[in-house]
Amino acid sequence: MTLLTVVRHGQTNWNLDRRIQGSTDIPLNDTGRADARRAAAVLAGSGYDAVYASPLMRARETAQIIADELALPEPVLTRGMREREFGEGEGLLVDEYLQRWGDWTATVPGAETLNQVRDRALNSLERIARAARRRSAPRAESIVVVSHGGVLRALLLHASGGTLPREGDVLRNGSVHRFVAERGSLRLLESVAA
């Protein structure tokens, strides 16, 4: 068993503008750095063994702040946890995107589907859990993984059997979501707004 705590990266200026980032590499703003410190405060007091992160700079910087605050080693980058590729939707305001394509499940030229995002994120988490089990057997390891809203949405939908997040739920920057990975399954324990 591996405990996986998935954190959404801190705020960027594009988040503030409600602009779709996708794989566009946008840095944190000052509020985003504060989000990362708040997430670290939520995580403090629990023992963590490692930090992993999407390679996009907003997730990398969030992970670095968390690692520094919790006195953990440098974050390990994992491509499988990068944000959803939004294709022609990248850079659009959310309202423009929804006006053009109707909803988040629409087929957008050049974009990944939520199922594709879910599959690559689950593969990445399975590799992280497998590595943790090799390092720590027989005790459980606890890992922090910093990722993105689209990835979290896909993981929550999977782990909840499609009931979470509910329509209109916002996954806040810096929010913390705890899962258990065991025997090829992912189970949601809790979600906390930082």
Question: What is the per-residue pLDDT across 34-58, written as a single tens digit (0 to 9) for each?
Answer: 999 999 999 998 899 999 999 999 9
Fold annotation for 2-192? Rossmann fold (3.40.50)
User: What whole-number distance in Å separates Cα of residue 159 and Cα of residue 102?
Assistant: 25
Extents of the domains making up the chain? 2-192
Task: Give tens-digit pLDDT for 88-120.
Answer: 999 999 999 999 999 888 899 999 999 999 999
Give the largest CA-CA distance in the chain.
52
3-state secondary structure 141-166: EEEEEEECHHHHHHHHHHHCCCCCCC
Cite the annotated binding site for substrate by residue number.
8-15, 58
Task: Give tens-digit pLDDT for 122-176.
Answer: 999 999 998 887 776 556 789 999 999 999 999 999 999 988 988 778 899 999 9
DSSP 8-state symbol, 11: P
Q: Which of 61, 83, 85, 90 is catalytic?
A: 83
Q: What is the pTM of this model?
A: 0.94
Q: Is 88 a catalytic residue?
A: no
User: What whole-number distance in Å separates Cα of residue 144 and Cα of residue 27?
Assistant: 20
Query: Which pair of tokens denotes residue 35?
Result: 């989000």
